[in-house]
Every structure is written in structure tokens, then in C-alpha cells.
Amino acid sequence: MSALPVVAVFALGGTIASASDSGGGALVRLSGADLVAAIPQAGQVARIEAHSVTMVPSGDLSIGDLIRLRSLIEQALADGAVGVVVSQGTDTLEETSYALDLICGTDAPIVCTGAMRNASLPGADGPANLLAAIRVAASPAARGLGVLVAFGDEIHAARFVRKRHATSPGTFGSPLAGPVGYVIEDRVVILLRPPGRLRVAVPDDAPDAPVAIVLTHLGDDGGLVTAAPSLGYAGMVLAALGAGHVPSRIVPALESAARQIPVVLASRTGAGDVLTGTYGFAGSESDLLRRGLIPAGGLDPAHAAVLLRLLLMAGIDRDRLAYYFDQACRADGPITATATGS
Ligand code: ASP
């Protein structure tokens, strides 16, 4: 019988690691070892090395935490792990998994998961999600797909996945692409392979480049758009109406902001690309792109903010940003954004 593969589990906190005592609100209490101890079946899949990295709600994670996690992941793989699981809160999982997708250079499976029901609740989904994630991380079929999210027995590509519901255990979906696979019984089934992957060469010591997300809406007066560049943001993502439209009254504020910092045009709808040349009215996508905004392609505002932040941290020139946004969802092959270009 061949030896079991090694899978490293990095626990960051979140609902999957939360429990309540004596009627109080649930808090992060469970370590990586505690999480793994709840799924003895994992011992038939892999030899698990459990690590507790942080014990926080996922809103308290930072880009710096993810850059440090990258080093831990690289070390675990260098030490012989075939794949990695990251367990964390679901609230920011679409952003953290996409950041790892962009900054990690490996083809080994990195599989993120979490839970919607904490460990004290009936029907807690953490153990099943963690076991499924371990199966995916141990699967040779999951190599080269980019960072994945295993949740509710579905497998999603980090670049497409979204948290779509505040409480449902089936919250994660990929509206643009659908899941890339699923887990059934003890098998990992990969249905689709995403197109080429964009990576961003962010140095370990890169200074952060905070990005604002501003959501426009009916009756918006543009006050936040006007303020953002002077508040210290290195860039801005505009969550625009529909396919990339804004009320015409905020166009001058956007044009002015785009002269000061990169402004990315994304759709607030939750799925689908922004247009680039269909409408011609003031505040249309064509008008905004002519005034210097950068189209987000098929990235929703949260994903677009992660990509913009990392590109800026990597020192990518402003005139290269649009190219990388264009490639983010549909590169033909692997691309790495480096400060010197690629
Ligand atoms: N607030 C929690 C978190 O993101 C929610 C969850 O894990 O589902 O840490």
C-alpha cells in the first residue's frame, strides 16, 4: 500500500472555528488541530499537518496576513505536502482566495473553505467542508487549476467565486462560470479547467496600496468619488450601475479622480462584464473609458479591488493596468505581472 500524501491545513479562524458557550455569542475558539480532530475520515485521505495561523473573524484578515501565509504555504509544499487547505471565515473568502490565487506561484492545489453554521449549531457544515477541501487538496486532478474554494461539495475557481447569500450553507457560487467540479462520496470530479492564470509578483515587503470601493446608486451626488483621492487611497473601484454606467452628474468627479489615481469600472450587478463600446450617453461605459477609467472585465468590485491593490503593490505601471484587467478572467496561458512588465 502506498504512503498517504501529506496535506497541510492552515486555520485562520471564522465561523468554521467558532463555537458558543453557555448561550453567549459564538467566538473563534477552535484551533487547526481541533478542526482536523472532528473529521477522523481525513486520516484515510491524507496525513494532515494542522497549523493555527490566526484565530480571527475573516473581516480582520489583511493582505499582509495573506503574504505571510504565502510563505507558510511555500514552506509546507517544499517540505513535501501535495496540497494545502486554508480554513477561514466566509465573509471575505472570495477576496482572500483570489489574493492567494494571484500571489502564489505554485500549481499544487490550494483549497480554501469555511462554514456557515458554527460548531455549536445543529447541521454545522464545517467538518464536511473541511473533509471535502482535504480531498481536493490531495487530488492530482486539482493541480494547475489556480486557488480553489471547496464548499457545499462544489469546487469553485477563486477568480470567479462569490458569497451570494448572508446565511445559506449553499452561499458560494460562480455566477460567471459555474463550479469547476464537485466532490461526491470520496471522489473529486473536475468538470472544467479555467483559462490561463494571471499572477502578480508582489514582494514580501511590498508596502500596502489601499483601494476604495465606491458604489454608485440612484441619486448619487458623487461626494465619495470626489473625496477618495484625497483620503490616501492608491486606487478606486467604482461599483457602477448595470454594464458600467453612472448618473451623468458624477462624471466630472470621476474624470477628476481618474486623473489622480487609477479608477476601475466594475459592475455592481454581481455577474457579467462591463461593456466597452455599446452606449454613448454621458455616464455610459464608453464615456467613462474615454475619460480614463479602466474596465474590470468580468471581475466584480470585490475581486477587482483585490487585483488593483496587488498590481499597485507590485509596482505595475498605470499604463499596464488595463492589460492585466483584460487578462484576469481569460488569459490564454500563464501570465505574471511584474514591475518590469511581462
Ligand atoms: N463572520 C464570519 C467570518 O467571516 C462568518 C463566517 O465565517 O461565515 O469570519
Same domain for 204 and 187: no
C-alpha of residue 65 to centroid of ligand 1, in Å: 16
pLDDT-based confidence at residue 332 (cuts at 50, 70, 90): confident
313's CB contacts (< 8 A; 6+ apart) are 63, 200, 202, 206, 207, 208, 209
pLDDT-above-90 percentage for the chain? 95
Average pLDDT over residues 295-316: 98
pLDDT of residue 149: 98
- State the pLDDT confidence band at 179, using cuts at 50, 70 and 90: very high
Domains contained in the chain, number: 2
Rounded CA separation 85/263 (Å): 34
Tell me the per-residue pLDDT of 63-114, one tens digit each, with 9 for 90 and over.
Answer: 999 999 999 999 999 999 999 999 999 999 999 999 999 999 999 999 999 9
Residues 160 and 278 in one domain: no
Q: Which long-range contacts (CB under 8 A, 24 or more apart) does 51-54 make?
A: 51/8, 51/9, 51/10, 51/11, 51/76, 52/11, 53/10, 53/11, 53/12, 54/12, 54/13
User: 7-44 pLDDT, tens per residue?
Assistant: 999 999 999 999 998 778 999 999 999 999 999 999 99
Between these two residues, 306 and 195, which has the higher pLDDT value?
306
Instruction: Tell me if 256 is assigned to some domain.
Output: yes
Q: What is the average pLDDT value for the chain, to the nearest integer? A: 96
Run of H or E residues at 155: strand 154-157
Residue 10 sits in the same domain as residue 130: yes
The CATH number assigned to the domain holding 247 equals 3.40.50.40
- What angle (nearest 5°) sits at the alpha carbon of residue 280, between those of residues 279 and 282? 115
> 80: burial class by Cβ within 10 Å (0-12, 13-18, 19+)?
exposed
Distance between Cα 59 and ligand 1 center (Å):
8
Give percent of the chain with pLDDT exceeding 70.
99
CA of 47 to the centre of ligand 1 (A): 27
Residue 1 reports pLDDT greater than 80: no
Tell me whether residue 321 is in a domain. yes
What is the extent of the structural domain holding 309?
200-337
Residue 341 has a pLDDT of 53
The answer to whether 245 and 254 are in contact (CB under 8 A) is no
Residue 2 predicted with pLDDT over 70: no
Q: Decide: 307 and 199 in contact? Cβ < 8 Å.
A: no
Same domain, 120 and 138: yes
State yes or no: is 92 an active-site residue: no
Per the residue annotation, which of 15, 54, 90, 113 is the catalytic one?
15
Convert the pLDDT of each residue in 132-155 to its tens digit.
999 999 999 999 999 999 999 999
Do 116 and 215 sit in the same domain of this protein?
no
- The 8-class DSSP code of residue 275 comes to P
Domain shared by 294 and 187, yes or no:
no
**156 grid coordinates:** 469553485
pLDDT (tens digit per residue) in 219-271: 999 999 999 999 999 999 999 999 999 999 999 999 999 999 999 999 999 99
Atom 3 of ligand 1 has which residue's CA nearest to it? Answer: 89
Q: Which of 29, 30, 91 to mutate to test the pocket of ligand 1 (most atoms within 8 A of CB)?
A: 91
**Could you tell me whether strands 110-113 and 83-87 are parallel, antiparallel, or unpaired per DSSP bridges?**
parallel
State residue 75's pLDDT score: 98
**Per the structure block, which three cell numbers stand in for 144?**
494547475
Band of residue 4 on the pLDDT scale cut at 50, 70, 90: very high
pLDDT, position 294: 98
The cell numbers describing 173, all together, are 457560487
Q: In terms of domains, do 188 and 217 share one?
A: no
Q: Which residue has the cell 461599483?
A: 239
> Does residue 153 lie within any of the structural domains?
yes
